[in-house]
Amino acid sequence: MLTKRIIPCLDVTAGRVVKGTSFTNLRDAGDPVEQAAFYYQEGADELVFLDIGATPEARDTMVEVVRKVSKQVFVPLCVGGGLRSISDMRRMLLAGADKVSINTAAVHKPELLKEGAAIFGRQCMVLAVDAKRIRGKDKAGWEVCTHGGRRPTGIDALEWIKQAVEMGAGEILLTSWDADGHQAGYDNELNRAVSEMVNVPVIASGGAGTLEHLYEALAVGKADAVLAASIFHYREYSIKQVKEYLAGRGIPIRS
Amino acid sequence: MRKDQKKIAVINYGAGNLGSVVNALNRLGYQPLVTDSVFEVLKADAVFLPGVGAAGDTMKGLEAIGMADAVKKLVAYRRPLFAICVGLQVLLSSTEEGGHYPCLDIIPGEVKKLPAGLKIPHMGWNQVKQVMSHPVFTDIPDNTNFYFVHSYYAHPTDKSVVAGVTEYGLEFCSMIIRDNLFATQFHPEKSGEPGLKMYSNFLKIASL
C-alpha cells in the first residue's frame, strides 16, 4: 500500500533556513545542509526547499545548497521559490533536485507547466499554490496569492489548480495562506476540495502545530502528504514521533 | 582489488537524472564513469541504466547513440546491469505509452498503464514484496518501502523473472532479475538506506 509522506520544509533565504508567520516576521532556523541531513537520518520521506529570498544571488546560493544536499540525502528533493523559466528549472534539476515547484511564474505563464512537463516529465512539475480564503455569499472559496503570498490575485484557486493539472502539473503543493505559520491546524476544507478534484498527489501545507493536525490533513483533508516546517525546526516533534503517532492511528506510513 | 580499479559505467543518453545515481554510488565509495560511449559501456565491470521520463524518448535516446544494441549485448553476455524505472520498462518488448512503442525486447512482455481510479503517477513510498530469494536482497527485509514515481508498469510474460511485486490498484512487477540483469521500477537512489544497500549488494554480486 502506498504510504503517506511526511515532508519537512526548509524555507531558505541567503543560504539560511528561516521561519515566519503568514510569510512575514522571519526568524533564523539554521543551516540548510545540516538540517536536511538531520531530517534524512530521522526518516523524512522527502524534502522541500523553498527559496524565499529568490534574488539572483540567492538563487546561486540555493543551487549550491541543493548540490551539497543531494550528495548526502537519498530521498526525493523538491526545490521552489522564484523559478521563472525552463532554464531556472533545469539548473535546479541538474544540481540534484528531483522536482521543481513553481507558483507565481506559473500564474503569469501557465505554458511553463506544459513546457516543463514535456521536457522533464510531469512528475517533476509541482504546482505550488498559496490559497487565501474568501467569504462568498453562499460558500467559502479561495483565491490564489502570488509573490510569496504577498499579492492576492482574485483568481479562483480551485479553477486554477484544475487548469494547471491539465497543463502538466504532476503534484500540488497546497499552502493555506490563512493557516500558514499559525500552528493551529491545516485548512482541511481546502485540502479535501483539491484532493478530491484532481488526479495527482496533493501535499497539504500550512498550519501544523500538533500531531493531531497532521492526522487530520491526511484523514479529513485526504492529502497524500503533509508538509511542515516549524514543528520540525524547533524540535517540537521528531519525524519518528510523528510517524509512530500516525501509524498508531491507522495511517499507512513508512517506518 | 581497489574499488577504483574496476569500472562502473552509468549510461548517459541525454535524459534521466543521472546525478542521483552517481551521488548514491559516490556515497558507497565508487567513482562511476558517466558516459554515452558504447565502447566504455561494453568494457565496464558493471553498468547502470537510469531512467526518468517517457519510455519512447528513452528508446530514441538509446538508439541515437547506438546504446540499444550495446544494452542487448550486455544482457546476452550476462554482464552485471542495473536498470532503473524507465530503464526497466524499455527492457520489455513494447510499451503502451504514446500508443504502442517497440522497446528492447530483452524481457518478453508489455508495459501497461496503471489502472484508472487511483492517483497517477504512483508517487511515493510503497512496499516491495520479495518473491525471489536472491543475494541482492541481503539485509533488506521483505516488504521494505522503496520510492516510486511512474504511470506505467511492466508485465513480463515469463513470471520466473519477477523478483519483487508491489500493490497499487493491482499487484504489479516492481523488480526483475534474470541472470546478471537487475531492474527496478522504484528508485533505489531515492529510497534511503535500503536503496543504497541494494546497489551495494548488486556491486558485490558484480565482484566490485
For residue B1, the model assigns a pLDDT of 47
What distance in Å separates the CA atoms of residue A178 and residue A19, rounded to the nearest whole number? 16
Q: Do B124 and A225 touch (CB under 8 A)?
A: yes
CATH of residue B14: 3.40.50.880
In chain A, the domains with their CATH numbers are 5-248 (3.20.20.70)
Is the C-alpha dihedral spanning A179, A183, A189, A191 positive or negative?
positive
Full residue range of the structural domain in which residue B135 is found:
3-205
Q: Which residues of A touch B54 (CB under 8 A)?
A: 121
Please give the average per-residue pLDDT across B9-24, as a whole number: 87
Please pick, among B40, B63, B85, B173, the residue that the annotation labels catalytic.
B85
Active site residue B110: no
B146 near A CB under 8 A: no
- The pLDDT value given to residue A234: 79
Decide if B123 and A201 are in contact by the 8 Å CB cutoff: yes
A–B: how many Cβ contacts below 8 A?
84
Chain A hits for B16, CB-CB cut-off 8 Å, are: none
Query: Nearest Cβ partner of B120 from A94, A120, A199?
Result: A199
Q: Does the bond joining A152 to the residue before it have cis omega, within 30 degrees of 0?
A: no
Output the pLDDT for position A181.
Answer: 81
Residue B113, beta-bridge partner list? B152
Residue A23 predicted with pLDDT over 70: no
Please state, in angstroms and rounded to a whole number, the distance separating the CA atoms of residues A120 and A122.
Answer: 7
pLDDT at B3 over 60: no
Known active-site residue B134: no
Which is nearest to B138 in space by CA: B204, B182, B187? B204
Question: Cβ atoms within 10 A of the Cβ of A46, count?
Answer: 26
Pull the grid cell for residue A61: 546560493
What contacts B117, CB < 8 A, 6 or more positions away? B169
Spatial distance between the Cα atoms of A22 and B46, rounded to a whole number of angstroms = 51
**B76: three-class secondary structure by DSSP:** helix
Looking at the predicted structure, is the pLDDT value of residue A222 above 60? yes
What is the tens place of the pLDDT at every residue in A33-56?
999 999 999 999 999 999 887 676
ipTM > 0.85, yes or no: yes
Angle, vertex CA A133, rays to CA A128 and CA A134, nearest 5: 130
Return the pLDDT at B5. Answer: 64
Asked whether residue A59 carries a pLDDT value surpassing 90, the answer given is no
CA distance to A36, A96, B3, B21, per residue, from A71 (Å): 11, 8, 19, 10
Contact B172, B153 (CB under 8 A): yes
- At position B119, the amino acid (one-letter code) is K
Residue B98 has pLDDT above 50, yes or no: yes
User: Could B24 and A74 be called an inter-chain contact, meaning their C-beta atoms sit closer than 8 Å?
Assistant: yes
**How far, in whole angstroms, is CA B155 from its chain's centroid?**
15
**Confidence check: pLDDT of B148 > 80:** yes
Backbone dihedral angles phi then psi of residue B46, each to the nearest 5 degrees: -150, 145
Residue indicated by cell numbers 485548512: A187
- What's the average model confidence in pLDDT over A82-92? 93
Q: What is the overall mean pLDDT for chain B?
A: 94
pLDDT of residue B36: 96
State the DSSP H helix or E strand holding residue B74, giving kind and residue range, or none if neither.
helix B67-76
CB contacts under 8 A, A 161-220 vs B, are 170-171, 199-201
* Angle, vertex CA A194, rays to CA A80 and CA B191, nearest 5: 50
pLDDT more than 70, % of chain B: 96
pLDDT > 80? residue B72: yes
Please tell me the total count of domains within chain B: 1
Q: How far apart are CA A174 and CA A197, in angstroms?
A: 13
Average pLDDT for B8-28: 89
